[in-house]
Amino acid sequence: MIGVGIVAQRLLSRTRSAERLAFCALTVAGLVSAAVFSIPAGNDDARPDRAAAACTEARYTAPGPRAGTAGHPKQVFYSTREPVPRDQLDHVDGDGYLIVDYHSRLSANDQRRLAAWAQTADFVVVAPGERMTAPLRARTSRLQLTCRRADVASLTEFRDRWLHRMGA
């Protein structure tokens, strides 16, 4: 920018008006540059108010605990071949856990990714859901995230915001 101003000044005559013109041009160019650099780059995936294009967030009211509530589940991930302790999931939902339900037809690769994520995530239980229409649904006692694909990044963001809100 400065080099352009110096060249412009040398090309123009040394009159006072030429110096003012060069100064004004540099000032305007500097202000425009500052404005352009202060605009975010458009990477708003990390914004908390936007989980992801593939997911939508809504309020949720958890069902009351089922009769015979038996405490906490013994696993953090349940495959489609394992019995899922629904009463325990409802119990930990009330304790502030994040319950992630996945469609039984979710690909084996996506199920492996969810299982690995569940092993590293606190206060999370992942299991095949009942009467699922979406591939993935994460629920807390107050919020629900529904995803059109297995989006672990959105699950992580949703979980982190929920745990922060709960003070965990």
pLDDT in tens, 79-108: 999 998 888 887 787 778 899 999 999 999
Q: Percentage of the chain with pLDDT > 90?
A: 36
Beta strand residue intervals within the chain, DSSP E:
55-59, 98-102, 124-128, 136-139, 143-147
DSSP code of 68?
T
User: What is the pLDDT averaged over residues 31-37?
Assistant: 51
> Tens of pLDDT along 117-150?
999 888 899 999 988 899 999 999 889 999 999 8
H or E, element range at 119: helix 108-120
| Mean pLDDT on 3-28 | 62
> Span 71-80, mean pLDDT?
89
